[in-house]
Amino acid sequence: MENLLTELEERKNELEGYLKLIEFLDSSKVISNEKNIEFQVNNHLLKTSKGTVYLILYNLIESTMREAVVKIHEKISVAGVSFNNLRSELQTKIIQRAKKNNTPLATVLQDFAGDISLNIHNAALKKEKLFSGNIDRQEIKNTASIYGFNDKTDYLKTRNGEHLTNIKENRNDLAHGNKTFSEVGATKSITELKKLCDEVIAFMYEIFDNIIDCVDSQKYLQA
């Protein structure tokens, strides 16, 4: 899990660095390079830059959750846990994934000397399909109920992830061309955007801590 924490911190640093750039642009009318070539900073550029924040935020959210789920499955494999010993919610999800992804029997049998009970959870897991642009507060809550980690956080710091639906919707609107970056970026001031980012980052760190506790306590197993 240490590598996942490092990746989360890298993405947080990316976001914070970009927010500092937006703040700088907001306080500048003109910027220039080392050749003294000047560039006019206008409101449209600021709004476009703010719109990009939603992509960076969503990247942080989905990558953190995806890699955490993959890590849980790695722990299950290393421990040699049988399908029958997994919590019932996870058993159901594994079967649903196998059916949805048309997982071939050969894939299930290829490892562990053909022991389906040890391999089906990995064979059914398609990393790239875990969330695919649909992750929000409810999706994290659903994932928590499947794997057994706590989805509760400090509301005063995190707002319990209430911004995640808006972030997901903005991300999808941008990805599919339904809105321009300047349209999305026009909805919040820089101060409001920074506050939103702080709350989302705090939420993801607390969820991450909850997932670590889940792995350490093996809460993905039947009680």
User: What is the tens place of the pLDDT at every residue in 91-146?
Assistant: 999 988 888 877 665 655 555 455 677 778 887 888 888 898 899 999 999 999 99
52 burial via Cβ count (<10 Å: 0-12, 13-18, 19+):
middle
- Residue 115 falls inside a structural domain: no
pLDDT tens track for 30-85:
999 899 999 999 999 999 999 999 999 999 999 999 999 999 999 999 999 999 99
- Residue 101 falls inside a structural domain: no
- Residue 35 falls inside a structural domain: yes
Determine the pLDDT at residue 112: 44
- Residue 44 falls inside a structural domain: yes
- Residue 66 falls inside a structural domain: yes
- Residue 14 falls inside a structural domain: yes
* Terminal Cα-to-Cα distance of the chain (whole angstroms): 23
Long-range contacts of the stretch 154-159 (C-beta < 8 A, 24+)? 154/202, 154/206, 157/199, 157/202, 157/203, 157/206, 158/199, 158/200, 158/202, 158/203, 158/206, 159/199, 159/203
Q: Which domain holds residue 13?
A: 2-78+131-216
Total domain count, the chain = 1
- Residue 30 falls inside a structural domain: yes
- Residue 165 falls inside a structural domain: yes
